Structure 1
Amino acid sequence: MKKNIIFFVFFTIILSSCNNVPKPILYGSDSCHYCSMTIVDKQHAAQFMTKKGRSYSFDASECMLNYLKEIDKTTVATFLVNDYNKPGETIDATKATYLISKNIPSPMGAYLSAFANKEVAQYVKEKNEGELLTWEELRNRFK
């Protein structure tokens, strides 16, 4: 009986450590993994999680993109960015539409914002000018 309890506890710990959800960003206390600035901007933060379950948080999408130049990208399981239109809400970075607009500053000066919805991004672009990009176009720009 005691062996069964020990096995159950051990098995539960192992399963709970295999979490495929990134840890939440603690705004105001977490630091950017690339530039070490404190992450405070809920409209521009970004994050990725490795296949082993480690989360890396960034104060801006441009910091994440710059950090990706330094690592083996095949180890990344999930890319997330904050939706500019819904501060603090993360979206799949590979499906987001990006806007570079000099009228919308971002923490590191790339003027880069992410949107879950292409139509919303287009609307914001019409109001603020700029250029819309897909994830692949953005990745190519940051090579």
Structure 2
Amino acid sequence: MKTLKHYSLLILLLIFISCNVSPKPIDYGNDGCHFCKMTIVDKVHAAEIVTKKGKVYKFDATECMVNFMNEFDTSEIALYLSNNYTKPEELIDATKATFLISKNISSPMGAFLSAFKDKIDAEKVQAEKGGELYSWTELLAHLNN
């Protein structure tokens, strides 16, 4: 009976560990983009999706993440994450981010798309570099047209 208890505890622990829904650090220069297969090197524009089962998909740019979404069952996605332009390597909730498309800021796939955690930061960069601001839903509509 004691052995059964131990096995049950072990199984529960393995289930908990394997279904951890959280971001994973991007290994810049080694990880590849799940959509376009390029190596992820840009620490400002990378992105991630985490499924409800904890599987992580990494992307070299938010635009690759959006393109991947068109080929994936989005009901399975728990987290949409983009790197914060003002704090490279910091993943932020893309659904709450403000996005700037500015021809004066290059991004890996040429969409000139950057994500900002704070709208105020996005507006400051927009005043400097030009471009248009988008919410997550506005961005999805814009990129899917």
TM-score under structure 1 normalisation?
0.95
1:84 aligned onto 2:85:
yes
2:124 corresponds to which residue?
123
* SS of aligned partner of 2:13: helix
TM-superposed CA distance for 1:132, in Å, is 0.6
RMSD: 1.0
Count of residues paired in the alignment: 143
CA distance in 1 between partners of 2:48 and 2:69 (Å): 11
Question: Where does residue 101 of structure 1 map in the other structure?
Answer: 102
> Matches of 1:38 and 1:97 in 2, distance apart?
25
Report Cα offsets for 1:33-92 as digits up to 9, x if no partner: 110000011100001111222111100001111111122221211100000100000000
Separation of aligned partners in 2, 1:13 and 1:76:
21
The one-letter amino acid of 1:82's match is N
Q: CA deviation at 1:8?
A: 1.9
| SS in structure 2 of the partner of residue 136 of structure 1 | helix
Gaps of 5+ in 2: none
Aligned to 1:3: 4
Check whether the contact 1:84–1:114 (CA below 8 A) recurs between aligned residues.
Answer: yes
Distance 1:75 1:18 in 2: 13
Partner of 2:15: 14
Aligned: 1:45 with 2:61: no
- Supply the distance in 1 between the matched residues of 2:4 and 2:17 (Cα, whole angstroms): 20
Aligned identity (percent) is 52
Match of 1:69 in 2: 70
1:14, distance to aligned residue in structure 2 (A):
1.6
Q: C-alpha offsets along residues 76-122 of structure 1, whole Å, 9 cap, x if unaligned?
A: 11100000100000000000000011111000111000000000100
Normalised by the length of structure 2, the TM-score is: 0.94
Tell me the distance in 2 between the aligned counterparts of 1:12 and 1:142.
41
SS of 1:89's partner is: strand
Q: One-letter code of the match for 1:26?
A: D
Task: Check conservation: 2:21, 2:51, Cα contact below 8 A.
Answer: no
Please tell me whether residue 139 in structure 1 is matched to residue 137 in structure 2. Answer: no
